[in-house]
Chain A
């Protein structure tokens, strides 16, 4: 049973535009959410997080939105850059459960 789902396996966005990566979860006990970025053959690196008591957290080009009623969160990257091309995982705690990832490709 996949408790954290990223239904879009891939996303292609033009440089300068907004990238929106989505994540849905099923367990209402999750209280903290994180986004990680992963390049091939490397470990994930932390990007941004949000507590369940908030609905938005912003850090530079990255903004995460949380809709608890819908059990949905999204990561917005604006403006997108070619260096953002990677696989993005959302994760939820208390037990760190990862989504299946979305491969983002930003093209010039």
Chain B
């Protein structure tokens, strides 16, 4: 079945540094990729939607200058957390869609970010 690879699975960084998270679709072309954040005991919160070759669409309340999203190809999207702070510590998950509206999303395994 369709697979989405997310890397790294966990990362610890110091406050003020930037961290890049990659999301790759391994056996299909992902026209749309989504980035989510999950706080403990809370739901997956959609951060942004990215379409290949165009700017990402950010959800209300998500700082686009802090969470940089690049979807340079049909198989790769990246999320860069810039100038990370401890409150950015969270679980980030990407997902990808290969085609039509409402097609089930394929999720990566997530990245646990800890900012010290």
CB within 8 Å of B: which residues of A?
2, 4, 9, 32, 34, 36, 41-46, 49, 51, 89, 93-101
Contacts and interface: CB of A to CB of B under 8 A. Distances in A.
Nearest to A51: B102
A22 to B, nearest CB: 15
Given A43-B109, A44-B107, 7 more contacts: A43-B108, A46-B106, A89-B44, A93-B101, A97-B46, A98-B44, A98-B46
Nearest to B97: A96
Interface of B: 4, 6, 9, 34, 36, 41-46, 93, 95, 101-102, 104-110, 112
Given A32-B102, A93-B102, A96-B34, A45 B46 contact: no
Nearest to B2: A46
Contact of B43 (A41, A45, A49, A100): A100
Contacts of A100: 41-43
19 contacts: A34-B104, A41-B109, A41-B112, A43-B108, A43-B110, A44-B44, A44-B95, A46-B105, A46-B106, A51-B102, A89-B43, A89-B44, A94-B101, A95-B46, A96-B105, A98-B43, A98-B44, A98-B46, A100-B41
* 4 A-B pairs with least C-beta separation: A43-B107, A46-B104, A98-B44, A100-B43
A42 B110 contact: yes
A92 B9 CA distance: 27
B21 to A, nearest CB: 13
Contacts, number: 51
A43 B93 contact: yes
B48 to A, nearest CB: 12
B102 A43 contact: no
A101 B106 CA distance: 18
B39 to A, nearest CB: 10
Nearest to B107: A43
B102 A45 contact: no
Given A42-B110, A43-B95, A101 B46 contact: no
Contacts of A44: 44, 93, 95, 107
